[in-house]
Structures are given as C-alpha cells and as structure tokens.
Chain A
Amino acid sequence: MISQVFILSSQGDHLIYKDFRGEAGSDVVNLFYEKVTALTGDQPPVVMRHKDVHFVHVRQGGLYWVATTTADTSPFTIIEFLNRLTALVKDYCGSLSERSVQMNFALIYELLDEVVDYGYIQTTSSDILKNFIQTEAVSSKPFSLFDLSNVGLFGAETQQSKVAPSSAATRPIQSSRDQGGKSEIFVDVIERMLVVIGSNGVLMKADIEGEIKVKCYMPTCSEMRIGLNEEFSIGKSQLRGYGAAVRVDECSFHQAVRLDEFDSLRILRLCPSQGEQTVMQYQLSDDLPSAPPFRLFPTIERDNGGRLLMYMKLRCDLPPKRSVLDPTRLQSFSSELNLSQELSSPDQSAELQPQSRAVVWKIPRFPGGTQLSALFKLEVPGFSSASMLEVGPVSLSFELPKITATGLQIRFLRLSPFQPGPAQRWVRYVTHSDSYTIRI
C-alpha cells in the first residue's frame, strides 16, 4: 500500500507530489530530503523511517522517486513499482531527466492517477494505459539541425542512414499515434559483464547478465517473431548442434511471450505492447564462450627517486575493426601525489582524481586486435615497499557495440502477418561492463 508518491530533483526541488490516502502531511517531502542528504556514504538509503512513515526510494535519471508506505509492505513490490513507474515515465516522456519530468508534469499526474488508486497499484501495462492517457508529451529536445546529420546530401540515401541514430529510441511513444509517424520497432540485446581477472591473468570470475528488450513505437502490432541462434541452449546438460553452442545458465521470459516454437526452433513469439519491455533475461556464470575482451599486462616498480612507475599494456582481443569506447580506471594512493604520464597516442588522456584516489586513463577509441600502452609515474611521499600492495585493482568501463559476450544473435525479426505501412525494424547489440576488474 502506497501512501504518497513524490519525485524530487537532486537539489530537492519538488517536481511531483501526489497524496493517495491523505494520511501523512506534505511536509514529509522536505523531511525525506533532509534525511537522504544527511546520510553518510555507507548507510543504506533505500529504506528510511520517520515515526510511522517509511520512505522507499529509487534513484533514476538523477531524480529521487519516493514512495511512503507502512512497515509491513513488501519492499520488492514497492521497488519494482517505482522502477516500473520510471520506465513508464520514460516511455511517455521520451527520456528521464529533471527537465523532461518538469515539462511533462501534467502527463505524469495523469499517469499516477491511472496507475495507483487509493494507494493500490491498479495497472502498469502500457497497453491498458494508452486508452486513458490523454495528455501529449512535450518533447524536451527542440528541433536541431544536428538531427538531420544522417540525411545525406540532397536527401540521397547514404550508407549512414542505415544505422539508427542513438537518440532514435528516446522519444515519447505516443507521438507515433498522433503524427502518424514512423512505426518502428527496436530490439536491443544488452549484456552486462562482471569479470574479475587475477593478477596472474587467470579468469577468476565471469558473469554475464543479459536481456532482450523490445521497444515498440507501433500503435498496433499483431505478432512478432524473434528468432534466436539455433544452437542456443540453456543449462549445462543441454547442448545443441556441433558448432560453438551459445549457452546460458538460466533464462526467464516475459509473461506475454509464447514459447511453443522455442524448444524446437528457438523462436520467441509475442505481441509487443507500446513502450519498452524486457522480453527475456538470461544469466551465464563462470564460463565465457570466448576470451575476455581486454587483457592488461602491468609492470609496477619503483625507481631510485622513490617514484612509482606503472607501465600498463592493454590489449583488446576483439576481432579487428571493432572500435570501442573505453575509459580505464586505476585505483591508487591516498596521499598527495604528482602524476606524470606517457601515453601511446595523443587522443588519450589521463588524470589523477584525488577524491577517489584513482588514475583515470581515458581512451576514446580502441580498435580490436591492437595494443595500447601507458607509463604513469607517481611521486608518493613516504613510499615503502608495502605501499605496492595498495596499487590496484584496475577497473575498466567500456561499451562494446555490436557485440554480445555470450554470442547470442537475433536470427530474424518478423512482424506477422500484416502491417499497415512500412515498419522499420532495428536490432542492436551492446555489451557493457558492469564491473570489469583486473587485479595487479
């Protein structure tokens, strides 16, 4: 049971406040903000309490999404609801930011009104909601000439326009209905890697969490068929085909997915509703099908001047011609330091962040199959041999477009049997680093 829902900006401005049950006063908003900003770093902020009022909140898009409730409520439900609410707002407003929430407050009030009644969640399905929501979204991005950048000279179809711009999927779902705009469907395969590589280069832990998301901008969509790799297998025992099997440990599907063709043909059938939904989630632990994408060869020594020399060689083991965005981080010392560096290419940069005690090495482009190197010299006062222990680990954060770590691919994407007007279908793959750590 939810008593109130409110949205605060990170500065504490009230963006949305809705009281469903009239049990607590509106001063709880300020109270919440005071409490949440007074927390020290290590205290779990998710649930806070003031007398009988319990605050549960999530942070998304730089905003606080807060629900007040009673002690015996299920935290899973409330948190899932708040996450779902943010997803709905994102669907309806296009993006999730302070600005978009501010501009679309009327729409969000309307949403909240339909989603929750008297503190009870009624529905969060965008299929049902679309019949009730009347307000139109105000797009927070004004028209810009840059949007035309992928239209070729004199409107000619160029190579570029075959790739959807990254902003294509951040628009309100409703615009398609009213403007008769493009009916598009995006299927995203998103994987997150959690990798720990030991100091000897051995893979200590490798987990992949992946999901297939469908974002649908079609007012009516009958049925969609998503074909996965035929050799896709679930669990350890089951192996299919002779080639390199694409294997995951566990797999779960959205309840709307029909799996009658899944066992034999690996085809997911569903009728996507408007907006974004996660069709399938899967996990793979402790077993990467291919070598980890990055390897690091560090050499750490001290020179006679008491300086610490860190020589880093970073190799990207992906197939060539894949460029990669890749800021690397390296944890280091607490004391006052001076950093001097020698990097292998001028477009890279490195800086020392005193707050997080880390050297951040930013690499804008990292083509597959190449190797980069850097030499960091650190002046550490009071340096002792034990301080070497404190260097590391190295954490990489990156985004690998067009690559899935598990090897999962979408064979085909069919909209059947009939679509009014041309529908554009986009399939995108991306692998993020949730946590990619290399010990030194």
Chain B
Amino acid sequence: MPYIGSEDTVRDLRRVLSNPNVQSDQLRYRNTILKVIRAMSQGVDVSGLFSEMVKACATVDIVQKKLVYVFLCSYATLNPELSLLVINTLRKDCQDPNPMVRSLALRNMTNLRLPSLVEYVEQPLTAGLRDRAACVRRVAVLGWAKLHNLQTNSEIDAAVVNELYSLLRDPDPVVMVNCLRALEEILREEGGVAINKPITHHLLNRLKECDIWGQCEVLRILQRYRPQSEDELFNILSLLDVSLISPHPPVMAATLSLFLSLCSGLPAVGLAALERVRGPLLAACGNTSREMQFTALCHIQLLLRSLPGLMGEHYKRFFCGYAEPAYIKQRKIEVLVELVNDDNVAILLDELRGYCTDVNISTAHAAISAIGRIGRSYSDKCLEILTELLGLKQEHITSAVVQTMRDLVWVCPQCSRTVCSAVEGCEAEIQDSQGRHALLWLLGVYGEQVSSVPYTLEVFIDGVRSEASVGVKMELLTATVRLFLCRPAETQDMLGRLLHYCIEEETNMCVSDQALLYYRLLHCGIEETRKVLQCRRSDPSLGVLIGRPAEPINQWSYIFNTLEPLRPGAIETESATIGGSPEHMTFDPKPNNDLSDTLSYSFGKTVRSGESEHVQCPTIFRCSPQSLQAAMQLVNIQTLAFTPPHTLPWRVYLYTNTQNKHSADTCHGTLILGELLYTGEEIQKKSKDEENVGVEARQDKREEEREEDTAEGRSEKERVKKNTAEKGIKVTLKQQPRDEKALKGFLSVLTTVLHALSSE
C-alpha cells in the first residue's frame, strides 16, 4: 500500500543520495540505500531514484552492490536507457578476481530482463560457462535460459546447446542440474532435454551427489525415459529404492512418481512401490509443518484409490488432534472412512462420534456424514450413534444427521424403520433449508411408517407463506402428495390448501408449475399418480456403488505429486456419486437425492434426440436384476440402477472403465455411461414416461444444469446411430474422453451379453 507522502520520501532520499558527503561515507551511503530498498518492498514507487542508484552501483562494498542490484532488477524494465549505464559496471565486475563478485554480476546482468542488452550479455555468459568457480558456472548456465526466454523467437544457438550438454558432466552437481533445467527451457519446443540411455545412467549415478532439490529435479526429468529392456528397468528401480524411502518427502514423492511412470506397464510393481512408501508417507503425516501434513494426507487419499487396504492397520495415525485446523481434520475424516474394516469399526466410530460435537461446524458435519457413509456397511452401530446425536437437540447437528440419514436410507432401505422412529419430532430443531429438504423427503417417502407425519406436514404447510427456499417448497409439495397416496383421509384437506396456495399465490414458476402438474396428475386418477410418485423410494441395486473397486494406478498417477490433489474437492469421494457430499450441499434448492432421476433426465434428452443403438432381445426385461448384474460384472460392466423386472418402460443404467493399452499417451482410459431402455410396443406409455421424467427433472434443475455444464465442458457425447426394428432395446451411450475403438468394443460386448441373457 503506497504511503501518504511517498513523493516526499523519494525527494528526501534523492537529496541524501546525491549528497557528496554521504557518498564519501560508506556506512551512511549504504544505510541510505537500505532505506530505498525498504521503501521499495513496502510498496512505495521509488523508480525516480534510478539514476542515483546507478551511480551507487560502482562501489567495492559487496553488500551495497547487492542492495543496488535488488533495486535495479526491479526497475530496469521501466528505464531501459539508463540501464545501459549499468552494463559497463557489470561487465567490469565479470572480470573481478573474486568469484562471488563475478557470479553476482552475471546473475544480475541476466536478471535485468532487457532484450536490448542481450548483445552485451552474451560474451560474459559464454566466458562464465568456462569459469573456474562453480558458483559462476551455475549462474551462467541458468543465464542462457533467461536469455532464451527474453527473445523466444530467436534461433537456438547450437553451440550453446552443445556446451550445455557437455556441462552435464561438470563436477559440481548443481551445475549439472542447472544444465538440465536450462536445456528444458531452451529446447522446450523440441520436447525438452534429450533423455537417452547414457544421459539417464549418468544422471542416476550422480543422483547421490545432489542435494534434495537437485534429486527432485533429476527424478522429474527422468520420467520421460523409457528403459529399453526389462533388465534395465529393474536395475533402475533397485537403484532408486533408497530414495523411495527417503526421509525427505519431496524426494520420496518424486521417486514414487518416477516409479509409477516407469512401471506403468507393470501394475504389480507399482503396487509394491506404494506399499514401500507407506512408512515415509505416514511419517510425513506427522511432520511438524501443518502444510506438509496436509499435502501428505491428500496424496494418501490418492494412493488409497488403488490400494484401499494400504493404511488399514495404521488407522490410529489419522485420528484428529485437538488443536489441528479444520481442513486437516476433514481430510483425516475422509481417510478414516476409507480405512474401516471389521476389526476397527467400533474404535473408529467411537472416535468419529467425538468429532460430531466439534466446535467447528463443518468439521462436525463432515464427521456426521462420515458416520453415514460407514453406515452403508455397518448400519446398526452407525444408526445408534446418529440417533443419539439427535438427542443433543442442536440445530446444525440435527440438520446434518437428518441429511445423512436420508442418504443412508436411499442406499440401505432396511434402515428405514429405525430412521423413521428417529426423525420423528425433530422438525422443530431444523432451521436450514437443506435439513428441512431432507426431512421432507424422508417424511414423504416413509409417510406410512411415522404416525405423526400429517401434523408435521401441517405445520410446514401453515408456514409455507414465509418459506424462503424454493427447494423446500417443491419438496413439501411432493411429500404431501406422496402422503396423500397412503393416508388420504388425514392429508386431503391440507393438500388442497397447499395446492391452492401454490397455484394461486406462489410467484415462483417452478413451484407453481409443479403444483399445477400434481393437480392435473391427481385428476388423472390415483393409480396414475401412484405410478409417477411412488416408484422411487430407494434402489437396492445401488448397493453396487458401496464397495468402491480398486482403481488402477494410472487413473491417478498423472496427478500424483502435483498441486491437483490439494485442491478442495479434487479427490472425488465415494459419496459424490450418491449426491450427499458437501459440494452438492451448496446448491440451493437442494438437488433431489434420486440419482436415477437426474440420470434419467440427462439420458432422456439424448433418447429424445433419437440417436441410439437398438439391440434385438426383447425378452431381456424379464430376467432378474441379480442375474443381469452378475453377468455384466463378468465382463467388467458395473450396473448403477435398475427398474424392477416386468415393468415398462424397463431401464438399466450401467457404466464401465476401459483401458487403452495400445498407446502410452492415452493411458487414462475412458469412462462409458450407458442406458438400456425397453419401452415395449405402447407408444403412449413412453410419452407418459417422458412427461414424468420432465417433472422430476425440474426438481433437479440446478443439478441438471451442473451436469450439463460439466458434460459440455469435458466430454464429447458419443451417439451411435443405426436404424433397426422398433422393438429392440435402446442403448444410449455417453463417453468421456472420446475413443471410437473402445466404444465399438464395448457395444459388441454388451450386445453379446444381452443376447446370451435373453436366450437363457
């Protein structure tokens, strides 16, 4: 921030600087220059003193010289002409007998960043490469990189490049590493420094001489090397084993990165390397620096994607400390969820329970939803804890618990009884819209199990005028209609009032449209309404998503040891697929939790655009979900959701990951998402279904928008068109990233499976 009266400061400084008495007194001169630099780093514009400072440059006092150079390098670009005056002094310094002075001059000469000075700099730089002192050579090598970046379009001087390559054999390790860095920059257009066998082996042999920074650099550059034989590969790996368990986290991470890129074809070796870094990574988690702890935690999350059992027995290392900042606690909670197994579940839940009353609200929420996620496998114990938490009667805890319970019930419908008795009577504590949204969903879907629901809903309906959240209003509509279906006598009156209010007085289009739709739907008869509203209570087949399969390492190895894993939400937690994760929570209105709704809408659109594949096997919809699921899993296709057998329209959602092993650069594989749709003959039914989809989708407007955004942003939709008989199964596929070959393969596999199943 500029100081008031900065002009006065500059004027005063100038006066003192040009005072001959000051100039003759070395100490006073230096102190004045010190004041200039201080003003500069505080943000005062002292560029007006440039010419005075140029004069101050010619001195034997090294401290003063350094200070002046700090100044000159900051302001040189503003005063190109005056900077020319400095060059002479700098060139003279390059001849100085003291190597420190030489390196200083050389470094600052190249730091001035003035293209006009290039011609004066080249000669001292060339001389610098052959200097006796290593510190001068270090500076000179990087100087060439700076020079190249100043005039990027100029031709690369082959002589310099050769000289730099030969300096890779320099006795000083820093010079060697600097040569690598400089060549990387100069030869960027050709793909960086050439990494062939002799260079690789030379670098590996000298790795021990470098300090940790040099080692990291060398290891990073070696990632481009591809060993020619398996013997060579294993020689390199055994040579690097020491650095893999290095106590310095940067070296360990860089080595693992190199391991993973070298062993991309040998998954078993990669997994063994992950086992090996467990110790150092855990040690990094206990580093004194919070930031280092955080980095290690984020990378452990990556590793767990491929080796879920990696840290199983060390779960206690991820217990949160009292004074830890919230962001570390939350990462640790995320890791803990992954580490649950039969042996530690009791201790782990006990620990997590302690975090639920954390002072930091978001940490408390993270702990609560973690318990919910563990509840998918250990529902009894978790529900017990969650119910206990409701007893605290704390606003934010109750809201988070209800949301967690909703997410849990969607996956494990067997919990519904416990949940229903637990949520009864907690509506008074929930103030935020997301919590009420969740509560309403639960009350609507399980209305017949909770006796007091009509009274609860009545309170909501009476207060609908003052309700601010659109999402809550829409959920209230749905819940009331659902309740009406199972308990008509108690609900009829309030449903009427609610519909009346929403249609006549509500200003929000979404709400009033939805109310209108329900009104018309009810006109069509109770059976029709039931068909639309009561089909999605939960989906047992979603259980497939719970146990996350171990991903291959190369799904994430390309972001290992970059800043990517440290970004908030960079690591998709399992819950993200279900919709209960914090990033979904930020949307208001809260997206409905029904995954199939959102999916069916986005699929519905593609279906309507009429581009899909037909497979002739109409009997498929009669086969049981279990056998279909089992058959699909045999060929590595995961099923996401089904409609029950014998219903029309019959749908299945599935996905698969494919690996492309042919080309090394697209080793990430592609994700294919597919929908099977069998509508039967009746066209009428189909159109109705579409309407239904449209309705449900409006609830999820935001969610769907988001999905569309991302879909457009990152993926290319793949549609295959082929006209065959109308009576087939419609297959709609989405793929990301695009890969024709994989798609064709997938389709043929899928067709085979479907034919095999329907012929059974």
A positions within 8 Å CB-CB of B: 13-17, 19, 22, 40-47, 49, 54, 56-59, 69, 71-77, 79-83, 105-106, 109-110, 113, 117-118, 120-125, 131-132, 134-135, 192, 194, 196, 198, 204-205, 207, 209, 250, 252-253, 281, 283, 285-286, 329, 331, 334, 356-358, 382, 384, 386-387, 389-390, 393, 395, 397, 434-437, 439
In the complex, the answer to whether A435 meets B321 with C-beta atoms within 8 Å is yes
B37 within 8 A of A: yes
Q: Which residues of A contact B316 (CB under 8 A)?
A: 204-205, 207, 285-286
Q: Which residues of A contact B327 (CB under 8 A)?
A: 42-46
Residue of A nearest to B324 (CB): A435
How long is the Cα–Cα vector from A19 to B111 in the complex, in angstroms?
10
In the complex, the answer to whether B211 meets A123 with C-beta atoms within 8 Å is yes
In the complex, the answer to whether B566 meets A77 with C-beta atoms within 8 Å is no
How long is the Cα–Cα vector from A81 to B216 in the complex, in angstroms?
12
Would you give the shortest CB distance from B129 to chain A, in whole angstroms?
A: 15
B331 within 8 A of A: yes
CB-contact partner of B289 in A83, A192, A204, A389, under 8 A: A83
CB-contact partner of B70 in A109, A209, A252, A331, under 8 A: A109
Residue of A nearest to B42 (CB): A14
Number of interface residues of B (CB under 8 A): 90
List the 10 closest pairs (A to B, CB-CB), nearest first.
Answer: A435-B321, A252-B247, A386-B391, A42-B362, A44-B327, A395-B322, A121-B213, A76-B250, A77-B250, A47-B566
CB-contact partner of A207 in B63, B317, B354, under 8 A: B317
21 contacts across the A-B interface (CB closer than 8 A): A15-B41, A43-B568, A72-B563, A74-B216, A75-B565, A76-B284, A77-B250, A118-B146, A118-B181, A120-B142, A122-B178, A124-B213, A132-B100, A134-B63, A192-B288, A204-B347, A207-B317, A252-B283, A281-B247, A389-B391, A390-B394
Residue of A nearest to B185 (CB): A118
B82 within 8 A of A: no
In the complex, the answer to whether A194 meets B321 with C-beta atoms within 8 Å is yes
**Given contacts A106-B67, A387-B392, is CB(A207)–CB(B286) below 8 Å?**
yes
Q: Which residues of A contact B217 (CB under 8 A)?
A: 120
In the complex, the answer to whether B562 meets A72 with C-beta atoms within 8 Å is yes
How long is the Cα–Cα vector from A134 to B30 in the complex, in angstroms?
13
Would you give the shortest CB distance from B39 to chain A, in whole angstroms?
A: 11
How long is the Cα–Cα vector from A86 to B324 in the complex, in angstroms?
21
Q: Which residues of B contact A122 (CB under 8 A)?
A: 138, 174, 178, 213
B248 within 8 A of A: yes
Q: Which residues of A contact B393 (CB under 8 A)?
A: 382, 384, 386
Q: Which residues of B contact A436 (CB under 8 A)?
A: 322
In the complex, the answer to whether A83 meets B292 with C-beta atoms within 8 Å is yes
Q: Which residues of B contact A387 (CB under 8 A)?
A: 392
Digit string of B285-316 for contact with A (CB within 8 Å is 1, else 0)? 01011111011000000000000000000101
In the complex, the answer to whether A437 meets B322 with C-beta atoms within 8 Å is yes
Residue of B nearest to A79 (CB): B291
In the complex, the answer to whether A135 meets B63 with C-beta atoms within 8 Å is yes
Among the interface residues B247, B317, B322, B324, which one has the most CB atoms of the partner chain A within 10 A?
B322
In the complex, the answer to whether A434 meets B394 with C-beta atoms within 8 Å is no
In the complex, the answer to whether A389 meets B388 with C-beta atoms within 8 Å is yes
In the complex, the answer to whether B42 meets A13 with C-beta atoms within 8 Å is yes
In the complex, the answer to whether B43 meets A14 with C-beta atoms within 8 Å is yes
Known interface pairs A74-B250, A75-B561; 16 further A-B residue pairs with C-beta atoms within 8 A, sorted by A's residue number:
A17-B41, A19-B74, A42-B327, A49-B567, A58-B289, A59-B290, A76-B252, A76-B254, A77-B216, A109-B41, A109-B70, A118-B145, A118-B146, A123-B213, A286-B316, A395-B322
**Given contacts A120-B142, A286-B316, A393-B354, is CB(A75)–CB(B295) below 8 Å?**
yes
Among the interface residues A81, A105, A384, which one has the most CB atoms of the partner chain B within 10 A?
A105
B163 within 8 A of A: no
How long is the Cα–Cα vector from A150 to B748 in the complex, in angstroms?
87
Would you give the shortest CB distance from B364 to chain A, in whole angstroms?
A: 10
Q: Which residues of A contact B394 (CB under 8 A)?
A: 334, 390
In the complex, the answer to whether B324 meets A120 with C-beta atoms within 8 Å is no
**Given contacts A44-B294, A47-B567, A124-B211, is CB(A76)–CB(B37) below 8 Å?**
no
Would you give the shortest CB distance from A284 to chain B, in whole angstroms?
A: 11
In the complex, the answer to whether B292 meets A54 with C-beta atoms within 8 Å is no
How long is the Cα–Cα vector from A277 to B680 in the complex, in angstroms?
76
Would you give the shortest CB distance from B220 to chain A, in whole angstroms?
A: 7
Q: Which of B322-337 contact A (CB under 8 A)?
A: 322-327, 330-331
How long is the Cα–Cα vector from A82 to B250 in the complex, in angstroms?
12
**Given contacts A250-B283, A390-B357, A434-B321, is CB(A74)–CB(B561) below 8 Å?**
yes
Digit string of B218-261 for contact with A (CB within 8 Å is 1, else 0)? 00100000000000000000000000000111101110010000
Q: Which residues of A contact B561 (CB under 8 A)?
A: 74-76
Q: Which residues of B contact A395 (CB under 8 A)?
A: 322-323
Residue of A nearest to B562 (CB): A72
CB-contact partner of B563 in A41, A45, A56, A106, under 8 A: A56
Residue of A nearest to B252 (CB): A76
How long is the Cα–Cα vector from A81 to B295 in the complex, in angstroms?
14
Q: Which residues of B contact A358 (CB under 8 A)?
A: 359
In the complex, the answer to whether A389 meets B357 with C-beta atoms within 8 Å is yes
In the complex, the answer to whether A120 meets B562 with C-beta atoms within 8 Å is no
Digit string of B41-64 for contact with A (CB within 8 Å is 1, else 0)? 111000000000000000000110
Q: Which residues of A contact B284 (CB under 8 A)?
A: 76
Q: Which residues of A contact B130 (CB under 8 A)?
A: none
Q: Which residues of B contact A14 (CB under 8 A)?
A: 1, 41-43
Q: Which residues of B contact A382 (CB under 8 A)?
A: 393
Residue of B nearest to A7 (CB): B41
B549 within 8 A of A: no
Q: Which residues of B contact A397 (CB under 8 A)?
A: 322-323
B564 within 8 A of A: yes
Would you give the shortest CB distance from A41 to chain B, in whole angstroms?
A: 5
**Given contacts A79-B292, A435-B323, is CB(A74)–CB(B562) below 8 Å?**
yes
B34 within 8 A of A: yes
Digit string of B334-367 for contact with A (CB within 8 Å is 1, else 0)? 0000000000000100110010010110110010
How long is the Cα–Cα vector from A49 to B564 in the complex, in angstroms?
11
How long is the Cα–Cα vector from A125 to B212 in the complex, in angstroms?
10
Would you give the shortest CB distance from B183 to chain A, in whole angstroms?
A: 13
How long is the Cα–Cα vector from A196 to B252 in the complex, in angstroms?
30
How long is the Cα–Cα vector from A153 to B728 in the complex, in angstroms?
104
Would you give the shortest CB distance from B145 to chain A, in whole angstroms?
A: 6
In the complex, the answer to whether B41 meets A71 with C-beta atoms within 8 Å is no
How long is the Cα–Cα vector from A57 to B289 in the complex, in angstroms?
11
CB-contact partner of A73 in B247, B562, B567, under 8 A: B562
Would you give the shortest CB distance from A13 to chain B, in whole angstroms?
A: 7
B171 within 8 A of A: no
**Given contacts A43-B568, A134-B63, is CB(A123)–CB(B174) below 8 Å?**
yes
In the complex, the answer to whether A74 meets B564 with C-beta atoms within 8 Å is no
B381 within 8 A of A: no
Q: Which residues of B contact A389 (CB under 8 A)?
A: 357, 388, 391-392
Q: Which residues of B contact A54 (CB under 8 A)?
A: 563
Q: Which residues of A contact B351 (CB under 8 A)?
A: 196
In the complex, the answer to whether B330 meets A386 with C-beta atoms within 8 Å is no
B738 within 8 A of A: no
In the complex, the answer to whether B564 meets A71 with C-beta atoms within 8 Å is yes
Would you give the shortest CB distance from B221 to chain A, in whole angstroms?
A: 12
In the complex, the answer to whether B249 meets A117 with C-beta atoms within 8 Å is no
